[in-house]
């Protein structure tokens, strides 16, 4: 079902190894969907995953000056928090303030000071 493919693509494109996720999750898809994945250009998948993560990162920093200052002050801890957030929370927000708000809420829920 297309919904399953969308879920797998979202999971893959937010991770550090999108091709590995696609290959691991493909067994749960229809034959037609597995054929689509098999036809994907590996470099294109990696680049798309990088761009998805980069844009999400930028939306957080542009949508919340406190988050941007945190990144400037302590990039290592910010990136750790971002990676955990990115792995746990599917990308659904389009605008910076909404993404930053979701990130801030996730940080509060995980006792991470922004």
Output the six-digit token pair for 90.
């599917």
Q: Note whether residue 34 is domain-resident.
A: yes
Q: Note whether residue 114 is domain-resident.
A: no
Q: Note whether residue 84 is domain-resident.
A: yes
- Whole-structure pTM value: 0.84
* Three-state secondary-structure class, residue 37: helix
- What is the pLDDT, as a whole number, of residue 16? 87
φ and ψ of 48, to 5 deg: -60, -45
Q: Note whether residue 8 is domain-resident.
A: yes
Count of CB atoms situated within 10 Å of the CB of 84: 14
Domain that holds residue 85: 2-109
- What is the pLDDT, as a whole number, of residue 52? 94
- What is the pLDDT, as a whole number, of residue 43? 96
Measure the CA–CA gap between 35 and 23, rounded to whole angstroms. 11
DSSP 46-105: HHHHHHHHHHHHHHHHHH-HHHHHHHHH-HHHHHHHHHHHHHHS-----SHHHHHHHHHH
Number of domains the chain is built from = 1
Q: What is the pLDDT along the chain (114 residues), one digit of tens a residue?
A: 678 888 899 889 998 899 999 989 988 888 998 898 999 999 999 999 999 999 999 999 999 999 999 999 999 999 999 999 999 998 989 999 999 999 999 999 999 998
Q: Choose among 96, 87, 105: nearest CA to 10.
A: 87
- What is the pLDDT, as a whole number, of residue 1? 62
φ and ψ of 16, to 5 deg: -75, -20
């Amino acid at each position: 079902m297309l919904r399953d493919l969308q879920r797998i693509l979202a999971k893959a494109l937010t991770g550090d190894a999108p091709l590995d996720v696609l290959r691991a999750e493909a067994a749960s898809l229809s034959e037609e969907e597995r054929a689509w994945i098999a036809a994907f250009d590996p470099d294109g998948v990696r680049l798309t995953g990088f761009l998805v993560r980069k844009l999400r990162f930028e939306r957080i920093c542009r949508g919340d000056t406190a988050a941007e200052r945190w990144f400037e002050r302590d990039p290592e801890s910010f990136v750790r928090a971002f990676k955990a957030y990115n792995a746990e929370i599917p990308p659904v927000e389009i605008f910076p303030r909404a993404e930053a708000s979701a990130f801030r809420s996730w940080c509060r829920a995980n006792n991470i000071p922004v």
